[in-house]
Amino acid sequence: MMGNNGPTDDVEEKEHFQRIVNAFRYYRSFSLQRLATSEAYVSSLPSHHQTLLTSYRSHLEDIRTCVEHNYEIIKLITADVATLFENVKHDAGQVKSKVHPTMSDMEKVQSTLKQIVRDWSKDGEEERSACYNPIIEEIELNFPPAQRPSEQVQILVPGAGLGRLAFEIAKRGYSCQGNEFSLFMLFASNFVLNKCQGVETFRVYPWTQQFVNTLSAADVTRGSSFPDLDPSSLPRHAQFSMAAGDFLEVYTEASTWDCIATCFFIDCANNIVSFIETIYKILKSGGVWINLGPLLYHYSDIPGENSIEPTYEMVREIIQGIGFVIEKERTGVKTTYSQNVRSMLKYEYDSVFFVCRKP
């Protein structure tokens, strides 16, 4: 799972694991607490105000129902996480005081539900097409089956999230491995990829915590069915796996991969240079790196975290300085990430798409 250097690391790792499990388990209480606060405030208002807020009150009740439904999914996601990693047995027991989830953890539980919609529902199809299709098309262009059997082409997808991009690449016959560090993503991807059978067998309500910028109550309480295709429908001979752990620690072997596909990933580093350097190192000579995404720099404003934030022009210099040849490049590629299409406020990235080759 994550690198172990001794007993202290082991304790920290277990506490981290426990904290994430607890965050999922705390979802229901956390969400209902927020609703209870709103309800209490309404009850304190003048009675004629309360009368005018009748539909608001029933809306809060509907949200409560959605939260309960989400919690049923969360229970399934965390059901067997204790045995998720080979050779590592974690205790997913009751909440321990020193491993209480943080506010940031609770936001990540929320975003995990949205991620299910992005990667594994019909509602996420448009967003996936914008982000994943350019990458898949480029892979097919560089590695046509006529030139070399697809299963011999080794492709790595770091920061694989819930695994849909890696799944789609494997579905096309390539040998593909997804890599993910976040336990939130690993728990959920394990559930979708290994436990979900059939199509649209589950339903999630991802927008229940969006209390602002909403046009209608139905927009907040609408659900998304998943998965939009059967994850167990991969061809029998398909070579597809998910590896847990820190990208920089897991991938140290030089000249291993024919292609590395990164989508919304390279800005997840404290030091983007180390990511680019590792990508270069682990690619075979003549190998291809395909990237699409913005430069959000996840650690930029996190207290206690070091971070560098080079501009894209500087990132280009780093890429070429390390030895890559940039073969294709597009800026201003319109993409979104777990976007609520019915919100009154939307975020859109002018992403960068490029293809580099290791000489």
For residue range 302-336, list pLDDT tens digits in order: 999 999 999 999 999 999 999 999 999 999 999 99
In the chain the domains, ranked by start, together with CATH numbers, are: 110-357 (3.40.50.150)
Are 89 and 83 in contact, with CB atoms under 8 Å apart? yes
What is the rounded CA–CA span in Å between residue 294 and residue 204? 27
Say what the pLDDT of residue 321 is. 98
Q: What is the pLDDT of residues 10-68, one digit of tens each?
A: 888 899 999 999 999 999 999 999 999 999 999 999 999 999 999 999 999 999 999 99
Residue 8: how many CB atoms within 10 A of its CB?
Answer: 9
Residue 353, beta-bridge partner list: 292, 330
Sheet containing strand 154-158, strands side by side? 240-244, 175-180, 154-158, 257-263, 283-293, 349-357, 325-335
Say what the pLDDT of residue 82 is. 85
Angle made by CA atoms 279, 168, 349, in degrees to the nearest 5: 65
* Confidence check: pLDDT of 3 > 70: no
Q: Which 3 state secondary structure label does DSSP give 252?
A: coil
Say what the pLDDT of residue 281 is. 98
Say what the pLDDT of residue 9 is. 78
How confident is the model over 209-237, as a mean pLDDT? 95
Q: What is the pLDDT of residues 67-120, one digit of tens each?
A: 999 999 999 999 989 888 755 556 655 445 467 889 999 999 999 999 999 999
Say what the pLDDT of residue 93 is. 54
Question: Is the preceding peptide bond at 227 cis, omega within 30 degrees of 0?
Answer: yes
Would you call 183 exposed, middle or buried from its count of C-beta atoms within 10 A (0-12, 13-18, 19+)? buried
How confident is the model over 281-288, as a mean pLDDT? 98
Say what the pLDDT of residue 1 is. 37
236 band by pLDDT with thresholds 50, 70 and 90: confident
Say what the pLDDT of residue 80 is. 87
Contacts 24+ apart (CB under 8 A), 72-78: 73/113, 73/202, 73/203, 73/204, 74/24, 74/25, 74/27, 74/28, 74/109, 76/191, 76/195, 76/202, 77/24, 77/187, 77/188, 77/190, 77/191, 78/21, 78/24, 78/25, 78/187
Q: Which 3 state secondary structure label does DSSP give 156?
A: strand
How confident is the model over 113-141, as a mean pLDDT? 98
- What does residue 198 show for φ and ψ, rounded to 5 degrees? 85, 180
* Confidence check: pLDDT of 5 > 90: no
